[in-house]
Amino acid sequence: MTLLDAPAYNARKARLIRNISITTFIVIVVLGVSGFLLRHWPAEHRLNTFFAAVESQDMKKAYGIWNHDPDWEQHPQQYKDYSFATFSKDWGPASDYGIIRSHTILMTASVGNGTVMGVDINGGKTPIFLRVDNKTKTVGFSPVELYTGP
C-alpha cells in the first residue's frame, strides 16, 4: 500500500461516526444548559424548605435549617450570636412581616462563596435578601442587595 492508496469508503462506519459525534454534541449541550439553569437549585431548595417551616410555624425546625444543624437544641450555646429568641422575634408572628403565609424567590445570584436570593414575603413591595453559604449551608441575612429594576 502506498501513500496515495486510500482505503475503500465504508458508508456504515462513516454514518456511525457521524451519529456518535452528533449525539455527543447534543448531550454536552443539554448537560451544559441544565447545569447552568440548575446551578442555584440547592440554595433555592434550602430556602424553600426554611420558609415552609416558617409558614407552618415550626420555628425550631426553621432555626435548625437556618443554622444547618437539626440538633441545635443539644448545644444552643453555639448559636448565642443569633439566639433562638432573636430568631423567633425576626421570623415569628410578631416580626416585621407578620405571620408569613407565602414566599416567592424573585432573583438569585452567586456572590462570593454563597448564593444571594431576593425573596418576596406575603406579596410585599420590596424583597428581603437572604444568603445561603455554599460551604456551610447556613442561611443568613445578606449584606448584598440585588438590583430589582425600576
Facing residues of 59 across strands?
A: none
- Please tell me the total count of domains within the chain: 1
Decide if pLDDT at 43 tops 80.
Answer: yes
Model pTM above 0.85: no
Give the C-alpha separation, 27 to 35, whole Å.
12
Residue 52 placed within a domain? yes
Residue 32 lies in a domain: no
Confirm whether 132 is domain-assigned. yes
- Give 82-136 pLDDT, tens digit per residue: 999 999 999 999 998 899 999 999 999 999 999 999 999 998 888 999 999 999 9
33 inside domain:
no
pLDDT above 90 as % of the chain: 82
Let me know if residue 20 belongs to a domain: no
Closest CA to 149 of 124, 118, 123: 118
The answer to which of 13-27, 59-73, 135-149 has the lowest mean pLDDT is: 135-149
Position 17 in a domain = no
| CA atoms 36, 130, 133, 143: torsion sign | positive
Q: What is the span of the domain harbouring residue 83?
A: 41-141
User: Can you say how many angstroms the Cα of residue 46 is from the centroid of all Cα atoms in its chain?
Assistant: 7
- Report pLDDT for 1: 61
Residue 91 in grid coordinates: 421570623
Give a yes or no: residue 26 inside a domain.
no
pLDDT at residue 13 above 70? yes
Q: Measure the CA–CA gap between 6 and 34, rounded to whole angstroms.
A: 43
Tell me, yes or no, whether 146 lies in a domain.
no
> What does the pLDDT average to over 50-70?
96
Average pLDDT along the chain: 93
- Taken in order 29, 111, 62, 137, is the CA torsion positive or negative? positive
**Local structure of 129: helix, strand or coil:** strand
